[in-house]
Structure 1
Amino acid sequence: MSLSVWLAFLVTTLLFSLFPGAGALNTMGTVVRHGVRSALPSIAGLQLGLLCHLLLAGVGLGALLARSLLLFEIIKWCGAAYLVWLGWKQWRAPVQAMQAGAAKPMLFWPAVLVNLTNPKTILFLVALFPQFIHTDYPLWSQCLILGGTCLLVDALVMVGYATLAVPLMRIITTPARQRLQNRVFGSLFMAAGVTLAGASR
């Protein structure tokens, strides 16, 4: 793989990761509610979900999803329902004191599901990967480079979103502000779910 091809993939992946979606909302909501350190298992969970998508795209199942309308619809509605449920849970979350100490491992698996139930991610990867694969080079080495780049870029972008959420922690210091924050992020999650439900290929 040439440097120019890799740089083009890097820029494309960076733009895709920077576009705010469910992962960014999950990361920022986690920071605001539980503290910065708690974002670490959440970000790791998002990357595991992304890795699963990368593996599916690598073995060709992504192409099956891209062709199967039924499979796409099933995953889409599961993802939409999960985001709406997360939003409703956040909306009704009780006001509690910030706990910015140790990271909370229980935040890992919900983050995995956030990425796993987003069919747009794997469709993006299925459409993206072939544009940067060269038949003259070994397939798996190219997939390893592209997949590793994608994971690293997304992780760094999520760290950036977590950093952006830090000032909100300093603002949300009263029960009324925390309740407002819960409802804002809850509404954003539900809006993301509705948007996903209305998505088409």
Structure 2
Amino acid sequence: MSIETWLAFFVACWLISLSPGAGAVASMASGMNYGFARGYWNALGLQLALVLQIVIVAAGVGALLATSALAFALIKWFGVLYLLYLAIRQWRAPAQTMTLEHRPIGRPLSLVLRGFVINFSNPKAIIFILAVLPQFLDPGRPMLMQYLIMAVTMVAVDLVVMAGYTGLAAKALRLLNSPQQQRLLNRSFGVMFGVAAGLLATVRRV
């Protein structure tokens, strides 16, 4: 992969990561609920799913999933149901005064798993990777090394972007002075998860 191709891919990664989606909503919700240090574990789960999706595409399985209506539907509707579950859970979260000393701790493994499921249960992501990555591949060079460079680049960029989403939401903890404000924020994130579920439900196989 030439430096020019890599730079073009690097720019594309920023545009992809900055576009709002379920991962961004999950990162903001985690930062709001648990603060940056704990909430950022969610981003690790998102990246584990991204790496697995790239491996699937590189192995050629992505093409099979892209053409299998059943596999696409199963993954998609699992993702829709999971996002709806998160929406209901966030909406019904108890209101309490959120301060830096009294916020929930959050278990890292649970947050990693949540991020993984959110990212991996979006079949459109695999198809998107299947459509985008080959455009930057040089057939005359080793494929494995090129996929490795792309994976590292995508993960590094997404970690930075999700750190921004998580950190900005964590900063908002300082603005929460009452249970009423916390209830409003919980329901706002509940609505965002619901919207993400609705958008995923409209996705169709190309």
Q: After TM superposition, is the score higher than 0.5?
A: yes
Q: Please list the CA deviations of residues 155-187 of structure 1 after superposition, one character each: whole Å capped at 9, or x if unmatched.
A: 111011112213321222210000111100001
Percent of paired sites with the same residue = 42
Structure 2 equivalent of residue 38 of structure 1: 38
C-alpha contact (below 8 Å) 1:5/1:132 kept by paired residues: yes
Q: Over residues 128-150 of structure 1, what are the superposed CA-to-partner deviations in whole Å (9 max), with x where a residue is unaligned? A: 11101111100101010011111
Displacement of 1:118 in angstroms is 1.0
2:119 to 115, 126, 129: 115
Match of 1:104? 107
SS in 1 for 2:37: coil
Within-5 A mapping of 1:59-78: 59-78=59-78
Check the 8 A contact 1:53/1:116 in 2, yes or no. Answer: yes
Q: Hey, which bits of structure 1, 4+ residues long, moved more than 4 A? A: 99-103
TM-score (norm 1): 0.94
Q: Tell me, which stretches of 5 or more residues in structure 2 are unaligned? A: none
Aligned to 1:186: 190
Structure 1's unaligned 5+ residue stretches are: none
Distance (whole Å) between structure 1 residues aligned to residue 75 and residue 112 of structure 2: 20
Could you tell me which residue of structure 2 aligns to residue 82 of structure 1? 82
| Structure 1: distance between partners of 2:165 and 2:178 | 23
Shift of 1:35: 1.1
Shift of 1:56: 0.7
The answer to whether the 8 A contact 2:80-2:197 is kept is: yes
| 2: CA distance, partners of 1:102 / 1:33 | 9
| Alignment equivalent of 1:135, drawn from 139, 142, 148 | 139
- What corresponds to 2:162 in structure 1? 158
Are 1:145 and 2:157 counterparts? no
The match for 1:167 is: 171
Aligned partner letter, 1:167: K
Contact 1:53/1:122, CA 8 A, preserved across alignment: yes
Q: Is this contact kept in 2: 1:37–1:102, CA < 8 A?
A: no
Give the CA deviation at 1:152. 0.7
Give the AA of the match of 2:87: G
- What whole-Å deviation, never above 9, does each CA across 1:21-80 have from its counterpart, x for those lacking one? 011100100111111111221111111111111111111111111111221111111111
Residue 8 (structure 1) aligns with: 8
Tell me the CA shift for residue 95 of structure 1.
Answer: 2.0
The whole-number CA distance in structure 1 between the counterparts of 2:10 and 2:48 is: 19
| TM-align CA RMSD | 1.5
> Does 2:188 align with 1:176?
no
Question: How far, CA to CA, are the matches of 2:52 and 2:177 in structure 1?
Answer: 38
How far apart in 2 are the matches of 1:103 and 1:184? 20
SS of the residue corresponding to residue 112 of structure 1 reads helix
